Amino acid sequence: MAINALSSRRAALSRLDSKGSPYLYVLPFFLLFGVFGLFPLIYTGYVSFNDWNLLDGGAHQWVGLANYREMLQDPYFWNSLGNTLSIWVLSTVPQLLAALWIAHLLNHKLRARTSLRMGVLLPNITSIVAVTIVFTQLFGRDFGMVNWLLGLVGAGPIDWQADTWSSHLAISIIVAWRWTGYNALIYLASMQAIPHDMYEAAELDGASSAQQFWRITVPQLRPTIIFTTVISTIGGLQIMAEPLLFAGTSTPTGGSDRQFQTIALFMYEQGFREFRFGYASAIAWTLCLIIAVFAIVNFLLTRRIANEE
Protein backbone atom coordinates (compact mmCIF):
# COMPACT_ATOMS: atom_id res chain seq x y z
CA MET A 1 0.00 0.00 0.00
CA ALA A 2 2.76 2.38 0.98
CA ILE A 3 4.70 1.40 -2.14
CA ASN A 4 1.68 2.19 -4.36
CA ALA A 5 1.20 5.58 -2.66
CA LEU A 6 4.88 6.40 -3.12
CA SER A 7 4.73 5.40 -6.80
CA SER A 8 1.64 7.55 -7.34
CA ARG A 9 3.32 10.49 -5.66
CA ARG A 10 6.42 10.11 -7.84
CA ALA A 11 4.29 9.87 -10.97
CA ALA A 12 2.41 13.03 -9.99
CA LEU A 13 5.68 14.88 -9.35
CA SER A 14 7.04 13.64 -12.66
CA ARG A 15 3.96 14.91 -14.53
CA LEU A 16 4.17 18.24 -12.69
CA ASP A 17 7.85 18.53 -13.55
CA SER A 18 7.36 17.73 -17.24
CA LYS A 19 4.44 20.16 -17.55
CA GLY A 20 5.65 22.93 -15.26
CA SER A 21 9.38 23.03 -16.00
CA PRO A 22 9.06 24.63 -19.46
CA TYR A 23 7.06 27.51 -17.95
CA LEU A 24 9.66 28.00 -15.23
CA TYR A 25 12.42 28.12 -17.85
CA VAL A 26 10.75 30.93 -19.80
CA LEU A 27 9.42 32.76 -16.72
CA PRO A 28 12.55 34.96 -16.24
CA PHE A 29 12.18 36.33 -19.76
CA PHE A 30 8.53 37.24 -19.27
CA LEU A 31 9.29 38.84 -15.90
CA LEU A 32 12.04 40.99 -17.41
CA PHE A 33 9.91 41.78 -20.45
CA GLY A 34 6.99 42.77 -18.25
CA VAL A 35 9.08 45.07 -16.06
CA PHE A 36 11.32 46.63 -18.71
CA GLY A 37 9.21 46.23 -21.85
CA LEU A 38 5.47 45.89 -21.37
CA PHE A 39 5.04 48.19 -18.39
CA PRO A 40 6.95 51.13 -19.94
CA LEU A 41 4.98 50.66 -23.15
CA ILE A 42 1.62 50.76 -21.37
CA TYR A 43 2.66 53.61 -19.11
CA THR A 44 3.89 55.63 -22.10
CA GLY A 45 0.49 55.11 -23.69
CA TYR A 46 -1.16 56.48 -20.54
CA VAL A 47 1.18 59.49 -20.45
CA SER A 48 0.37 60.25 -24.10
CA PHE A 49 -3.23 61.04 -23.11
CA ASN A 50 -2.09 63.63 -20.58
CA ASP A 51 -0.69 67.14 -20.63
CA TRP A 52 2.41 66.12 -18.68
CA ASN A 53 5.15 68.68 -17.99
CA LEU A 54 7.99 68.02 -15.54
CA LEU A 55 8.59 71.74 -15.12
CA ASP A 56 5.26 71.88 -13.31
CA GLY A 57 6.43 69.42 -10.69
CA GLY A 58 5.12 66.42 -12.58
CA ALA A 59 1.56 67.71 -12.56
CA HIS A 60 -0.56 66.33 -15.38
CA GLN A 61 -4.05 66.69 -16.75
CA TRP A 62 -6.04 64.26 -18.86
CA VAL A 63 -6.45 65.67 -22.39
CA GLY A 64 -7.49 62.58 -24.33
CA LEU A 65 -6.39 62.63 -27.96
CA ALA A 66 -5.30 66.28 -27.89
CA ASN A 67 -1.59 65.37 -28.13
CA TYR A 68 -2.24 63.19 -31.16
CA ARG A 69 -4.31 65.88 -32.87
CA GLU A 70 -1.58 68.42 -32.24
CA MET A 71 1.02 66.02 -33.58
CA LEU A 72 -0.88 65.45 -36.83
CA GLN A 73 -1.09 69.21 -37.31
CA ASP A 74 2.56 69.86 -36.40
CA PRO A 75 4.71 70.56 -39.50
CA TYR A 76 7.83 69.64 -37.53
CA PHE A 77 6.44 66.13 -37.01
CA TRP A 78 5.81 65.62 -40.73
CA ASN A 79 9.23 67.08 -41.49
CA SER A 80 10.88 64.59 -39.13
CA LEU A 81 8.84 61.73 -40.60
CA GLY A 82 9.91 62.69 -44.12
CA ASN A 83 13.55 62.95 -43.04
CA THR A 84 13.35 59.55 -41.35
CA LEU A 85 11.88 57.84 -44.41
CA SER A 86 14.38 59.54 -46.72
CA ILE A 87 17.39 58.45 -44.65
CA TRP A 88 15.89 54.96 -44.34
CA VAL A 89 15.55 54.55 -48.11
CA LEU A 90 19.00 56.00 -48.88
CA SER A 91 20.66 53.74 -46.30
CA THR A 92 18.67 50.51 -46.49
CA VAL A 93 18.47 49.84 -50.22
CA PRO A 94 22.21 50.26 -51.03
CA GLN A 95 23.11 48.59 -47.76
CA LEU A 96 21.20 45.38 -48.46
CA LEU A 97 22.33 45.24 -52.09
CA ALA A 98 25.96 45.65 -51.02
CA ALA A 99 25.50 43.05 -48.26
CA LEU A 100 24.09 40.58 -50.79
CA TRP A 101 27.04 41.14 -53.12
CA ILE A 102 29.61 40.81 -50.30
CA ALA A 103 27.97 37.61 -49.04
CA HIS A 104 28.06 36.19 -52.56
CA LEU A 105 31.80 36.90 -52.76
CA LEU A 106 32.49 35.44 -49.32
CA ASN A 107 30.58 32.30 -50.26
CA HIS A 108 33.31 31.42 -52.78
CA LYS A 109 36.66 29.87 -51.98
CA LEU A 110 38.97 32.76 -51.13
CA ARG A 111 42.29 33.08 -49.39
CA ALA A 112 41.94 34.15 -45.75
CA ARG A 113 38.20 33.63 -46.07
CA THR A 114 37.70 33.41 -42.29
CA SER A 115 39.59 36.65 -41.71
CA LEU A 116 37.52 38.40 -44.37
CA ARG A 117 34.29 37.19 -42.78
CA MET A 118 35.43 38.49 -39.41
CA GLY A 119 36.57 41.75 -40.98
CA VAL A 120 33.19 42.65 -42.45
CA LEU A 121 31.74 42.60 -38.94
CA LEU A 122 34.26 45.07 -37.49
CA PRO A 123 32.26 48.20 -38.42
CA ASN A 124 29.26 46.84 -36.52
CA ILE A 125 31.13 46.28 -33.26
CA THR A 126 32.84 49.67 -33.42
CA SER A 127 31.40 52.36 -31.14
CA ILE A 128 28.68 54.26 -32.93
CA VAL A 129 29.90 57.49 -31.35
CA ALA A 130 33.43 56.99 -32.66
CA VAL A 131 32.18 56.02 -36.11
CA THR A 132 29.90 59.04 -36.44
CA ILE A 133 32.54 61.48 -35.18
CA VAL A 134 35.08 60.14 -37.70
CA PHE A 135 32.60 60.37 -40.58
CA THR A 136 31.57 63.86 -39.47
CA GLN A 137 35.20 64.90 -39.87
CA LEU A 138 35.39 63.20 -43.26
CA PHE A 139 32.33 65.14 -44.41
CA GLY A 140 33.61 68.42 -43.00
CA ARG A 141 32.95 71.47 -45.18
CA ASP A 142 36.38 73.10 -45.01
CA PHE A 143 38.88 70.34 -44.21
CA GLY A 144 36.95 67.12 -44.87
CA MET A 145 38.58 64.41 -46.94
CA VAL A 146 35.43 63.86 -49.02
CA ASN A 147 35.45 67.47 -50.22
CA TRP A 148 39.20 67.18 -50.86
CA LEU A 149 38.58 64.16 -53.11
CA LEU A 150 35.78 66.02 -54.88
CA GLY A 151 38.16 68.91 -55.46
CA LEU A 152 40.59 66.56 -57.25
CA VAL A 153 37.95 65.88 -59.92
CA GLY A 154 36.94 69.52 -60.23
CA ALA A 155 33.81 69.41 -58.07
CA GLY A 156 33.18 72.23 -55.63
CA PRO A 157 33.11 71.70 -51.86
CA ILE A 158 29.78 70.64 -50.38
CA ASP A 159 28.42 71.80 -47.05
CA TRP A 160 27.14 68.36 -46.11
CA GLN A 161 25.26 69.55 -43.02
CA ALA A 162 23.55 72.56 -44.58
CA ASP A 163 21.43 70.94 -47.29
CA THR A 164 18.69 68.36 -46.84
CA TRP A 165 19.79 65.85 -49.45
CA SER A 166 23.52 66.13 -48.76
CA SER A 167 22.98 65.60 -45.02
CA HIS A 168 20.66 62.64 -45.66
CA LEU A 169 23.23 61.11 -47.98
CA ALA A 170 26.07 61.54 -45.48
CA ILE A 171 24.07 60.05 -42.61
CA SER A 172 22.94 57.17 -44.84
CA ILE A 173 26.55 56.37 -45.67
CA ILE A 174 27.35 56.21 -41.96
CA VAL A 175 24.45 53.82 -41.34
CA ALA A 176 25.25 51.67 -44.37
CA TRP A 177 28.95 51.43 -43.46
CA ARG A 178 28.07 50.20 -39.99
CA TRP A 179 25.42 47.60 -40.87
CA THR A 180 26.37 46.24 -44.30
CA GLY A 181 28.77 43.64 -42.91
CA TYR A 182 26.24 42.47 -40.32
CA ASN A 183 23.60 41.83 -42.98
CA ALA A 184 26.22 40.23 -45.24
CA LEU A 185 26.93 37.57 -42.61
CA ILE A 186 23.22 36.83 -42.29
CA TYR A 187 22.98 36.37 -46.07
CA LEU A 188 26.12 34.25 -46.04
CA ALA A 189 24.67 31.89 -43.44
CA SER A 190 21.54 31.47 -45.56
CA MET A 191 23.57 30.92 -48.73
CA GLN A 192 25.47 28.09 -47.09
CA ALA A 193 22.16 26.37 -46.34
CA ILE A 194 21.25 26.22 -50.04
CA PRO A 195 21.82 22.66 -51.40
CA HIS A 196 24.90 22.56 -53.60
CA ASP A 197 23.16 20.07 -55.90
CA MET A 198 21.04 22.90 -57.28
CA TYR A 199 24.14 24.76 -58.47
CA GLU A 200 25.65 21.60 -59.96
CA ALA A 201 22.47 20.87 -61.90
CA ALA A 202 22.32 24.47 -63.15
CA GLU A 203 25.99 24.31 -64.20
CA LEU A 204 25.35 21.12 -66.17
CA ASP A 205 22.49 22.91 -67.93
CA GLY A 206 24.90 25.65 -68.98
CA ALA A 207 23.82 28.38 -66.55
CA SER A 208 26.36 31.12 -65.97
CA SER A 209 27.38 32.37 -62.53
CA ALA A 210 25.11 35.40 -62.88
CA GLN A 211 22.16 33.22 -63.88
CA GLN A 212 22.80 30.91 -60.92
CA PHE A 213 22.87 33.89 -58.58
CA TRP A 214 19.63 35.48 -59.79
CA ARG A 215 17.67 32.26 -60.43
CA ILE A 216 18.85 30.11 -57.52
CA THR A 217 20.52 32.17 -54.81
CA VAL A 218 18.19 35.16 -54.68
CA PRO A 219 14.91 33.13 -54.75
CA GLN A 220 16.23 30.87 -52.01
CA LEU A 221 17.12 33.93 -49.92
CA ARG A 222 13.71 35.60 -50.17
CA PRO A 223 12.69 34.96 -46.53
CA THR A 224 16.09 36.16 -45.33
CA ILE A 225 15.93 39.25 -47.54
CA ILE A 226 12.50 40.08 -46.12
CA PHE A 227 13.80 39.56 -42.59
CA THR A 228 16.80 41.86 -43.07
CA THR A 229 14.60 44.44 -44.78
CA VAL A 230 12.23 44.55 -41.83
CA ILE A 231 15.02 44.60 -39.24
CA SER A 232 16.76 47.40 -41.15
CA THR A 233 13.46 49.24 -41.39
CA ILE A 234 12.85 49.00 -37.65
CA GLY A 235 16.36 50.26 -36.95
CA GLY A 236 16.09 52.96 -39.61
CA LEU A 237 12.83 54.33 -38.23
CA GLN A 238 14.42 54.63 -34.78
CA ILE A 239 17.66 56.26 -35.96
CA MET A 240 18.85 58.88 -33.51
CA ALA A 241 22.56 58.73 -32.62
CA GLU A 242 23.89 59.31 -36.15
CA PRO A 243 21.96 62.53 -36.93
CA LEU A 244 22.45 63.82 -33.38
CA LEU A 245 26.23 63.41 -33.52
CA PHE A 246 26.44 64.46 -37.16
CA ALA A 247 25.17 67.92 -36.17
CA GLY A 248 28.30 68.35 -34.06
CA THR A 249 26.28 69.72 -31.13
CA SER A 250 24.02 68.34 -28.43
CA THR A 251 20.93 70.04 -29.88
CA PRO A 252 18.37 67.55 -31.22
CA THR A 253 16.97 69.87 -33.89
CA GLY A 254 18.86 68.09 -36.67
CA GLY A 255 20.53 71.12 -38.20
CA SER A 256 19.73 74.82 -38.25
CA ASP A 257 16.63 74.25 -40.40
CA ARG A 258 15.74 70.78 -39.06
CA GLN A 259 16.96 69.37 -42.36
CA PHE A 260 17.95 66.01 -40.89
CA GLN A 261 15.86 65.80 -37.72
CA THR A 262 14.36 62.31 -37.41
CA ILE A 263 11.29 61.20 -35.47
CA ALA A 264 13.47 59.92 -32.62
CA LEU A 265 15.26 63.28 -32.41
CA PHE A 266 11.95 65.15 -32.52
CA MET A 267 10.62 62.95 -29.72
CA TYR A 268 13.79 63.56 -27.69
CA GLU A 269 13.50 67.30 -28.25
CA GLN A 270 9.90 67.43 -27.04
CA GLY A 271 10.53 65.18 -24.05
CA PHE A 272 13.90 66.31 -22.73
CA ARG A 273 14.26 69.84 -24.10
CA GLU A 274 10.69 71.12 -23.97
CA PHE A 275 9.77 68.72 -21.12
CA ARG A 276 6.45 67.91 -22.81
CA PHE A 277 6.32 64.27 -21.81
CA GLY A 278 2.71 63.81 -22.91
CA TYR A 279 3.43 65.04 -26.43
CA ALA A 280 6.68 63.06 -26.62
CA SER A 281 4.83 59.91 -25.53
CA ALA A 282 2.27 60.43 -28.31
CA ILE A 283 5.14 60.62 -30.80
CA ALA A 284 6.67 57.46 -29.32
CA TRP A 285 3.42 55.53 -29.64
CA THR A 286 2.94 56.72 -33.21
CA LEU A 287 6.43 55.50 -34.05
CA CYS A 288 5.61 52.19 -32.38
CA LEU A 289 2.48 51.82 -34.54
CA ILE A 290 4.45 52.58 -37.71
CA ILE A 291 6.97 49.89 -36.80
CA ALA A 292 4.13 47.47 -36.02
CA VAL A 293 2.71 48.02 -39.51
CA PHE A 294 6.04 46.99 -41.05
CA ALA A 295 6.15 43.93 -38.77
CA ILE A 296 2.67 42.88 -39.90
CA VAL A 297 3.65 43.31 -43.53
CA ASN A 298 6.69 41.10 -42.87
CA PHE A 299 4.47 38.40 -41.35
CA LEU A 300 2.07 38.47 -44.30
CA LEU A 301 4.87 38.33 -46.87
CA THR A 302 6.64 35.50 -45.05
CA ARG A 303 3.44 33.48 -44.78
CA ARG A 304 2.70 34.03 -48.48
CA ILE A 305 6.19 32.85 -49.46
CA ALA A 306 5.84 29.78 -47.23
CA ASN A 307 2.49 28.93 -48.85
CA GLU A 308 3.96 29.31 -52.33
CA GLU A 309 6.81 26.98 -51.47
Residue 11: predicted pLDDT: 62
Residue 36: predicted pLDDT: 86
Residue 117: predicted pLDDT: 75
| CA-based torsion, 244, 249, 254, 255: positive or negative | negative
Residue 282: predicted pLDDT: 93
Residue 6 carries which side chain, given as an amino acid letter? L
Sorted by where each begins, the domain ranges of the chain are 1-48, 70-308
Nearest Cα residue to 172 out of 132, 137, 144: 132
Residue 116 carries which side chain, given as an amino acid letter? L
Residue 76: predicted pLDDT: 93
Q: How far apart are the C-alpha atoms of 67 and 51, rounded to whole Å?
A: 8
Parallel, antiparallel, or unpaired: how do β-strands 60-62 and 50-52 relate?
Answer: antiparallel
Is the CATH number of domain 70-308 1.10.3720.10? yes
Low-confidence residues of the chain: pLDDT under 50 = none
Contact 247, 255 (CB under 8 A): yes
Residue 14: predicted pLDDT: 63
Q: How far apart are the C-alpha atoms of 239 and 177, rounded to whole Å?
A: 14
Residue 232 carries which side chain, given as an amino acid letter? S
Residue 33: predicted pLDDT: 86
User: b or e along 144-165 (b: 16 or more beta carbons within 10 Å of the residue's beta carbon)?
Assistant: bebbeeeeeeeeeebebbebbe
Residue 12: predicted pLDDT: 61
Residue 246: predicted pLDDT: 87
